[in-house]
């Protein structure tokens, strides 16, 4: 009896297990799972995630690049001026920065509809793909990729007034500057309803938005704040050029994400931007070193670093819009013009741009943006032909973009610096400047020996 019950029990269990399969077979197939959201391109998403990380790495790279060029007593203060934007600007970007810069609102600024990332989800499609419509990556990824650009831009400005600005004043200034200078210009160029975009101006990865805006602000800041104590008579050599060269390498490495990632896709456009970035930097480094060799009889490590960064700056606006021969030309021309600005124009005009932020980023961004209007060739479905391809209208649009950025960034930055100076005071006391920013602003020393 017991064995019979066991056999019947096993049979019942088998029948129950097979029943669902039989029902599915009767319908022909298992029911499809419910839809969970849009389908992203895995390759594009992976590339832009990687690129965002590369762009963030550029800011610590900039800290080392700048930190090695100051005197030993100011190394930590200089490093902090690059590190602190990673906190301040990230929070600002989440609260309202991304929304104002990239949501639709008007030709000059966006709206607050995406404030606190409302509606900016990891499961929503990016609204922009090189301004060609809906993208293939998550909206939240596009937001964080743009955040990394917003972080490094105010950090670039710090090189102009290195060794003399209050840390408290710096924190307030970069917050205000990002809100009323960087974000509006980003909207003009990259917002779907931005006025410079509609004028036809091209900026692939930030020639105007990042480099001209920061470079022009740097010039205004160093003039308004005045020269460092003892400049130019006192010896102010870089204290650690090894650190500067390491920083240059990290900047060069990160720039592949800066420019190559701005394709927002793992495609031919991203490859072209990647290759053009490297070629322009290499050509620019050699041009600067050659110019030094001819003029001073000795090629310097600082010159090699400066030339490489000048080339990276110059190719940024046109990285996805020119071919390799155009990238070579842009790298060489930008480097030589920046060399003249740093070696001759700064001395002639007498301003103390401590680490040559204006000479490399302001001048290099301007030259690169204009040369994009000369060498652009529409190979992919973005951009336009430039002057050499028979389209002078693009060069005119580039002049508009450069001119508008120069005027707006210069005037508004001067107003902000004036306000901060009258409230907090921009510059440290003379005794604090003599002691160094490390001790006077942070109570620490970079080297404990």
Domain boundaries, the chain: 42-442
Entry pTM: 0.91
Beta carbons of 267 and 47 less than 8 angstroms apart: no
The band of 37, judged by pLDDT with boundaries at 50, 70 and 90, is low
Task: Mark 75-101 as b/e (b = at least 16 C-beta within 10 Å).
Answer: bbbbbbbbebbbebbbebbbebbbbbb
Number of separate helices (H) and strands (E) present in the chain: 20, 0
For residue 77 the two structure tokens come to: 């203060």
Higher pLDDT, 37 or 11: 37
CA proximity to 242, closest of 310, 158, 301, 162:
301
| CA gap 290, 299 in Å, rounded | 7
Judged by average pLDDT, the poorest of 118-127, 217-226, 369-378, 413-422 is 118-127
Do residues 416 and 176 lie in contact, with contact meaning Cβ atoms separated by under 8 Å? Answer: yes
pLDDT for 306: 98
Instruction: Specify the pLDDT at position 286.
Output: 98
Give, in words, the CATH class of 42-442: mainly alpha
Instruction: State how far the Cα of 189 lies from the Cα of 209, in Å rounded to an integer.
Output: 7
- Strand runs labelled E in 172-225: none
Q: Are 315 and 259 in contact (CB under 8 A)?
A: yes
Residue 129 structure tokens: 């793909």
Share of the chain above pLDDT 90, in %: 86
Q: What is the pLDDT of residues 180-206, one digit of tens each?
A: 999 999 999 999 999 999 999 999 999
Interval 277-302: pLDDT, tens: 999 999 999 999 999 999 999 999 99
Rounded Cα–Cα distance for residues 10 and 246 (Å): 71
């Amino acid at each position: 009896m017991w064995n019979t019950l066991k056999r019947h029990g096993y049979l019942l269990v088998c029948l129950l297990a097979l029943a669902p399969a039989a029902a599915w077979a009767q319908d022909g197939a298992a029911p499809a799972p419910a839809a969970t959201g849009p389908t992203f391109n895995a390759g594009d998403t992976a590339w832009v995630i990687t690129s965002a990380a590369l762009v963030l790495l550029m800011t610590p790279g900039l800290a080392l690049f700048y930190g090695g060029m100051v005197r030993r007593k100011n190394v930590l203060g200089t490093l902090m001026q690059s590190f602190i934007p990673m906190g301040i600007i990230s929070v600002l970007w989440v609260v309202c920065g991304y929304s104002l810069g990239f949501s639709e609102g008007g030709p000059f600024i966006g709206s607050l509809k995406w404030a606190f990332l409302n509606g900016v989800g990891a499961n929503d499609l990016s609204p922009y793909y090189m301004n060609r419509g809906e993208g293939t990556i998550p909206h939240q990824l596009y937001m964080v990729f743009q955040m990394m650009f917003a972080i490094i831009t105010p950090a670039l400005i710090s090189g102009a007034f290195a060794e003399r600005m209050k840390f408290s004043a710096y924190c307030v200034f970069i917050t205000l500057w990002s809100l009323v200078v960087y974000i509006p210009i980003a909207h003009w160029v990259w917002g779907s309803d931005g006025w410079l975009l509609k004028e036809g101006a091209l900026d692939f990865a930030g020639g105007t938005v990042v480099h001209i805006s920061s470079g022009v602000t740097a010039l205004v800041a160093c003039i308004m704040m005045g020269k460092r104590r003892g400049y130019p008579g006192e010896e102010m050599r870089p204290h650690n050029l090894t650190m500067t060269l390491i920083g240059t390498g990290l900047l060069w490495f990160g720039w592949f994400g800066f420019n190559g990632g701005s394709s927002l896709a793992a495609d031919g456009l991203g490859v072209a931007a990647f290759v053009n970035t490297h070629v322009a930097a290499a050509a620019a480094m050699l041009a600067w070193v050659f110019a030094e060799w001819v003029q001073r009889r000795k090629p310097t490590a600082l010159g090699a670093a400066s030339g490489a960064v000048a080339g990276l700056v110059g190719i940024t606006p046109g990285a996805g819009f020119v071919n390799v021969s155009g990238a070579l030309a842009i790298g060489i021309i930008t480097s030589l013009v920046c060399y003249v600005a740093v070696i001759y124009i700064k001395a002639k005009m007498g301003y103390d741009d401590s680490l040559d932020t204006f000479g490399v980023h302001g001048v290099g961004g301007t030259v690169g943006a204009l040369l994009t209007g000369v060498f652009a060739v529409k190979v992919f479905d973005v951009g336009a032909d430039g002057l050499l391809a028979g389209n002078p209208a693009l060069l005119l649009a580039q002049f508009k973009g450069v001119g508008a950025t120069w005027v707006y960034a210069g005037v508004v930055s001067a107003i902000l610096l004036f306000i901060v100076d009258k409230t907090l005071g921009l510059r440290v006391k003379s005794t604090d400047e003599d002691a160094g920013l490390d001790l006077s602003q942070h109570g620490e020393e970079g080297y404990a020996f």
